[in-house]
Structure 1
Amino acid sequence: MEIRNIIFDFGGVIINIHHSEVEKAFKNLGINQFETLFSQATQSDIFQRLEIGTISPGNFRNYLRSIIGKEIPDHKLDFAWNQIIGNYPPHRIKLLSELKKNYNLFLLSNTNIIHYRYYIEKFRNEFGFEFQSLFNKTYWSFEISERKPNHSAFTFVLKDNNLIASETLFIDDSVQNIDAAEQMGFQTYLLKNDTDLADIFGEGKIIL
């Protein structure tokens, strides 16, 4: 079926992500047991709660301080936490501008407000316009209280725009998210580590 709409993931698809830089940043704060602390935080579901907006940034920082055992200022915690955010390759931004001429573009991202504030400002400073203007609409998990791979996150986007799943291409770098989208009838593309977003398109059109 003809593709009329494209839903993009954000991290690892549009913007680069650097997981190792977070560990380095926390080690620079004197926290050498980062992997243990990260595992403990993951098991507590604190990251997911931040991503769907059920815990405030302040409470999130307080939780980190409680497991770190140090009184680290907010701005230093945020700086370390934001080091996971990499760069915006300019060719991907240009590609999105070209694709918008031929498709309805949407973004569906699992993210949190601390990261969001950082990379939205980063984009504005680097490119001189608003990131959201590249899309018909953007959906951030902390704003809609839904996250992938829950079917409800995809349903939210479909219903909000009267989209048909079979006419919509979903691009993500997570197998789990791709599987969920396929179960709902989306056309999908799993973006692997050795593939760039630009490899899927040519002259503003899909070349899958």
Structure 2
Amino acid sequence: MTPKAVIFDIGNVLIEWQPERFFDTQIGEDRRRALFAAIDLHAMNDRVDSGENFTAVLTETAAQNPAFKAELDIWHDRWLDMASPAIDHSVRLMTALQARDVPVFSLTNFGIQTYVLAATRYPFLSAFDRDFISGHMGVIKPDVRIYEMLEEGTGLKGADLLFTDDRAENIDAAAARGWQTHLFEGAQGWADRLVAAGLLTEKDAL
């Protein structure tokens, strides 16, 4: 069945998100390992993605971990440098789909303030036909409710939807609802999947 709409995750699908790699370049691998061992930064980020204020969460975390305040200030002040670069081939695929009148939605774990910040550097974040941003929705993948909310918002469900994400647990949750899915492991694989689905030609998918 040809999907009626395509859904993109953003982190590691449209924009690289590798905080460990970024911090290795800023403070060295040893200090980065100490930072990530001392503080559950991914859990901290989940709070932001669930709708808590970005600055407030970072300020609270820094107050609780004064030995790493400088590093947490980097997370806050240089977040946009950490969320980079764009994955250009994926961006071209999004544009190509829309050029063929295929609706393209986001479904992303992303904070309210950080999404606004990211959109200042990445204009394509403002180009989705519909946005489903966890910070505004108050729930993050792979919670079943976020998938229900997208279905309710679009009027589409099951095999009408083709979703790509880089995390297997997020893909599994969508597949359990009957969505067509693709585990993102690189833009070329995603391009091939879109061609196989009949949504793009090989030329479109370059």
Q: Which one is further off, 194-203 or 158-167?
A: 194-203
Match of 2:117 in 1: 118
- Structure 1 regions of 5+ residues with no counterpart? 125-129
Is the Cα–Cα contact under 8 Å of residues 178 and 189 in structure 1 kept in the other structure? yes
Give the partner amino acid of 1:189.
H
Give the partner amino acid of 2:14.
I
1:44 Cα deviation (Å)? 9.0
TM-score normalized with structure 1 length: 0.79
Q: 1:63 to 1:26 in 2, by over 3 A?
A: farther
- Structure 2 regions of 5+ residues with no counterpart? none
Does residue 1:58 correspond to 2:55, yes or no? yes
Mapped partners of 2:106, 2:82: distance in 1? 19
Match of 1:23 in 2: 23
Among residues 65, 76, 79, which one is paired with 1:78 in the alignment? 76
| Superposition RMSD in Å | 3.0
Mapped partners of 1:39, 1:114: distance in 2? 26
Structure number with higher helix proportion: 2
Q: 1:119 to 1:13 in 2, by over 3 A?
A: same
Match of 2:14 in 1: 14
Q: 1:72 to 1:141 in 2, by over 3 A?
A: same
Is the Cα–Cα contact under 8 Å of residues 8 and 105 in structure 2 kept in the other structure? yes
TM-score normalized with structure 2 length: 0.80
Q: Which one is further off, 16-25 or 172-181?
A: 16-25
1:145 Cα deviation (Å)? 0.8
1:57 Cα deviation (Å)? 2.1
Query: After superposition, where does 1:117-196 map in structure 2 within 5 Å?
Result: 117-124=116-123, 131-133=125-127, 135-193=128-186, 195-196=188-189
Task: State the identity as a percent.
Answer: 20
Among residues 187, 197, 201, which one is paired with 2:194 in the alignment? 201
- Equivalent pairs counted in the alignment come to 198
